[in-house]
Structure 1
Amino acid sequence: MFDKKEEDAVEYYLKAISLGETKAYSNLEYYLYKRGRSIDEFENLEKTIEKINYKLDRGKSIFIEGKNKIEQGKRDNNYSLIKEGIKQLKKSVHLGFYDAIKDIIDYYENEEKTKSNLIELFKYKQKSVYYGISN
């Protein structure tokens, strides 16, 4: 079982989801991700969420999907899966979840220093300055 504060937070997000708040699903997913949990752990949650169109604000959800693909790609030594995860992180930035910029910068700083990788690194470092995100 989880502690009372987490239970209250999940309950709050579920209420917001049931009221049709479009950002509530991705906020709940991100909240659980930061606590090392996932939505899959809650049996009745999917049924509640299926009734609501939560795809309007998916920046955080796409970020989490991308991070999971990157982690799986690293475990399996699957470079194409890592690249797919990076694409999802970039998509989450385009959808307004700017915290993903930190992970994109980390990726390009540790990648091979090709011309295209350095261009991407520079581009996302500029975005981090523009959005006031420190690494």
Structure 2
Amino acid sequence: MFAAVQYLSTAVVSLFFVAGVHAQVASNCTRTYTVQAGDVCDLISAAQGVSTFQLATVNAGVINSDCTNLFVDEVICLATDSQDCSPVHTVATGDTCFDIAVAAGITIPDVVAQNPNVTPDCNIYPGEVLCVKAASAAR
């Protein structure tokens, strides 16, 4: 009986948590995405044209910093009316901030300013998705 009660308690807590996550999509969310099996934040970012930083920022309090709490069929926000960057660049092995900036026609300070998770010494990693909007168009 204890196992049945524990299972039921876990199921109720899980249902409550998932329902709570769905309710946390920002009211100013302009684009959403429904999580699929096997999704991780960088893959979602690349496929949906959203920077890794933007995805984390618009889902603050919903997606944890390691992106390990996504649930299949969970609806997450991709962009808000105040934060939506395009175009983006998915970092490939060997990419540097200089290479990315030159290819996008922007400066390294632009890359850093548009991606607050990137430090001036360029702490990027393969698979990360960066905002590379022209400086005059950045908001």
TM score, norm. by length of structure 1: 0.31
Q: Which has the higher helix share?
A: 1
Structure of larger gyration radius: 2
Higher relative contact order (CA 8 A, sep 6+): 2
Task: Name the structure with the higher strand share.
Answer: 2
